[in-house]
Amino acid sequence: MKTEQLGIGILYNASLPEYLGQHMDQLDYIEIIPDMFWSDEGRGQQPRFRPLPKWMHQLDWIAGRVPLVAHNIGISIGTIDYFDEEYIRFMRQMHETYQFQWHSDHLSFLKLPTKGPHDHNAGIAIPVPYDEEYLTMIGKKVEFIRDTIDIPFLLENNVYFVEYPEQDYTETAFVNKLVSNHHCNILLDIHNLHVNAINQGADAKAYIDELDMENVMEMHIAGGNDMNGFYMDSHAGPCPDEVWELLDYAVSKAPNLRGITFEFHESYFPLLQFDGLNRQIELARNTWEKYHLKHQGYERA
């Protein structure tokens, strides 16, 4: 399974069309959240996934210009007794059309099964307990995803506000075991590490040191803000200095990195504007070029 080194990308949102129309040359790829481009009519409905015309029009325009990467929010890989194979097969159709370089989701659970056509949404991505039971369960799903969609599948590290006592593994040990046993890759969200460092006192550099960095294919960077005494992963504009410092540290240890993606919420576009976006991309590119020169496609072990 070969993937190209891409470089610097941005997570697509509704505020971007005008920027992309003028500054697409700044970017090496676009990451999309595929779930934003369709409406899920619910299990058993025909068709179940109804493309949203306006969004698909944008997607087709982008796909004609730069490579695409998919970042899902709907697999809910950590939900017990639940796996939406129909959703994965639809993602394969999307991939056949748009040729994603890789795809990813979060190491958490979001959806809870119901008897009706729509799942109950927990409202936030809840980290799974890092237990053997979850390792086995998630591992099987990863294998199904890899067998169904023939591109690398990445799992993203969590933001957490509460901790489970008595877990079998630390997060890094859990991720490393998942990656080595079930052949997936890692999406290392640098801002999530920063959030956990502020709120939980976690040591972000130690996390990077413990993680199997050979399998990190993508990194996310973003900004955040304070809310009621917590620092939130709100994608609120530019990255703080600590994120740039951590990014440098992480990139220096990730020989198989394929891309760095800047994420921001569309409501913060007025804060960033075109120049602000270009500046974030320029800073990310400086870090990228410090450690990575273009070389041949990476083949997963």
Nearer to other proteins, 123 or 295 (CB): 123
Total residues at interface with other proteins (CB under 8 A): 43
Site track 241-270 with other proteins (rule: CB under 8 A), x = hit: -------------------------xx-xx
**Stretches 5-13, 114-122, 275-283, 291-299: which one binds other proteins (CB under 8 A)?**
114-122
Q: Whole-angstrom distance between the N-terminal and C-terminal Cα of the chain?
A: 9
Q: Report the alpha-carbon distance of residue 66 to residue 81 in Å, rounded.
A: 38
**Stretches 79-87, 141-149, 150-158, 246-254: which one binds other proteins (CB under 8 A)?**
79-87
**Stretches 173-181, 228-236, 272-280, 290-298: which one binds other proteins (CB under 8 A)?**
228-236
- Phi and psi at 277, nearest 5°, equal -65, -45
State the DSSP code for 154: E
SS3 195: helix
Site track 11-50 with other proteins (rule: CB under 8 A), x = hit: ----x-----------------------xx-x-------x
CA distances to 31, 95, 112, 263 from 91, rounded to whole Å, are 14, 6, 20, 22
Judged by CB under 8 A, the residue of 2, 65, 120, 140 near other proteins is 120
Judged by CB under 8 A, the residue of 21, 44, 123, 201 near other proteins is 123
Confirm or reject binding of residue 201 to other proteins (CB under 8 A).
no
The answer for residues whose C-beta is within 8 angstroms of residue 259's C-beta and 6 or more apart is: 5, 6, 7, 8, 9, 28, 29, 31, 69, 101, 217, 218, 219
Q: Report the alpha-carbon distance of residue 3 to residue 229 in Å, rounded.
A: 41
Judged by CB under 8 A, the residue of 228, 275, 293, 295 near other proteins is 228
For the chain, how many helices (H) and strands (E)? 9, 16
Distance of CA 49 to the CA centre of its chain: 21
Q: Which residues bind other proteins (CB under 8 A)?
A: 15, 39-40, 42, 50, 52-54, 57, 79-81, 109, 112, 114, 118-124, 126, 129, 133, 160-166, 199-200, 227-230, 232, 266-267, 269-270
